[in-house]
């Protein structure tokens, strides 16, 4: 059977067959858009985070460090941590409510954890789509195959005489839907796993920087060099 004829069969058939084909096409386009976008985003983020953290610790003071972060942190992943902690310290004396309760170390832990979660949400965006496409696309393709074989059997039952050509072509065109589902799912699964590893690497760097920044600010404000306890930091796990 000619492969081009088989591929052309994807866009023929009844409403269900066309709906399945259109859904697979939309899944494929959406996942590739996310893959290209996140490849660019995460490659830049890996470089920016490493350079920003290194430049921060080479700065002579916090004021210069803030200007350095703005220059190196194009993805705005590191600088929100410093900005959040500086805002908290600036308003700690005048703020009222539960947000101002506790010592400086506890207040910094809270605001840095929130800023870290915001940065990680930027990195996690698109991961849900890739996971959904990777898990659903094969079953969508299988649905198209089952539906196509069902109609092929009905057609063969009413055809006479029965020949191998009349059997092979409709069944082969139906099986193409399963292959199409796998073609859509495999890049999404690979992208999800690769991006997940990169996000985990960036998260570890940001978490380490936040801990070190908290310790520095606590020391500068006369709160001692107490390290954060084992449960002081809640790692953000976003789907």
User: Distance (Å, rounded) from C-alpha 164 to C-alpha 34?
Assistant: 43
Average pLDDT over residues 11-38: 87
Asked if residue 36 is part of any domain, the answer here is yes
What is the band of 102 on the pLDDT scale with cuts at 50, 70, 90? low
Question: How far is Cα 87 from Cα 77, in angstroms, rounded to an integer?
Answer: 17
pLDDT of residue 12: 60
pLDDT at 223: 43
> In terms of pLDDT, which residue wins out, 232 or 77?
77
Note whether residue 38 is domain-resident. yes
Give the range of the structural domain holding residue 122, as residue numbers without chain letter.
13-70+104-138+179-220
Q: What is the pLDDT averaged over residues 196-225? A: 84
Q: Is residue 116 part of a domain?
A: yes
The pLDDT tens digits for 5-18 are: 444 555 566 778 88
pLDDT tens digit string along 60-72? 888 888 888 888 8
What radius of gyration, in Å, describes the C-alpha atoms of the chain?
Answer: 27
Residue 191 scores a pLDDT above 90: yes
Compare 104 and 134 and report the one with higher pLDDT. Answer: 134
Percent of the chain whose predicted confidence (pLDDT) is above 70: 77
What value does the mean pLDDT take over residues 46-59? 90
pLDDT at 7: 46
Residue at 31 is within a domain: yes
- Flag whether 51 is in a domain: yes
* Cα–Cα distance for residue pair 228/107, rounded to 1 Å: 12
**Is residue 77 in some structural domain?**
no
Helices 127-158/15-58 angle, 10° precision: 160
Asked if residue 48 belongs to a domain, the reply is yes
What pLDDT was estimated at residue 236? 40
Say what the alpha-carbon torsion angle 106, 112, 113, 114 is, to the nearest 10 degrees: 110
Q: 85-110 burial, b for 16+ CB within 10 Å, e for fewer?
A: beebbeebeeeeeeeeeeebbebbbb
Half-sphere exposure of 98 (CA within 13 A, CB side): 1
Give the model's pLDDT for residue 159: 63
Tell me which of 168 and 2 has the higher pLDDT.
Answer: 168
The count of structural domains within the chain is 1
Whether the bond between 161 and the residue before it is cis, its omega within 30 degrees of 0, is: yes
> Where is pLDDT greater, at 150 or 140?
140
86 has pLDDT over 90: no
pLDDT, mean of residues 33-39 = 95
């Amino acid at each position: 059977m000619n492969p081009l004829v088989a591929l052309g069969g994807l866009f023929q058939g009844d409403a269900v067959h066309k709906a399945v084909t259109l859904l697979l096409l939309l899944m494929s386009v959406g996942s590739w858009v996310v893959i290209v976008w996140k490849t660019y985003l995460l490659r830049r983020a890996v470089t920016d985070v490493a350079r920003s953290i290194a430049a921060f610790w080479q700065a002579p003071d916090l004021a210069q460090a803030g200007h350095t972060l703005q220059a190196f942190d194009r993805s705005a992943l590191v600088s929100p941590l410093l900005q959040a902690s500086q805002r908290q310290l600036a308003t700690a004396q005048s703020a009222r409510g539960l947000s101002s309760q506790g010592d400086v170390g506890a207040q910094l832990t809270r605001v840095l954890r929130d800023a870290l979660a915001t940065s990680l949400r930027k990195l996690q965006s698109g991961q849900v789509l890739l996971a959904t496409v990777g898990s659903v696309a094969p079953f969508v393709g299988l649905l198209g195959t089952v539906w196509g074989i069902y109609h092929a059997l009905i057609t063969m039952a009413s055809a006479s005489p029965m020949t191998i050509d009349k059997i092979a072509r409709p069944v082969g065109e139906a099986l193409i839907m399963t292959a199409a589902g796998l073609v859509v799912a495999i890049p999404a699964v690979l992208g999800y796993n690769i991006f997940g590893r990169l996000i985990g690497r960036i998260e570890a760097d940001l978490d380490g920087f936040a801990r070190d920044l908290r310790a520095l600010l606590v020391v500068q404000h006369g709160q001692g060099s107490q390290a954060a306890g084992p449960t002081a930091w809640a790692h953000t796990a976003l789907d």
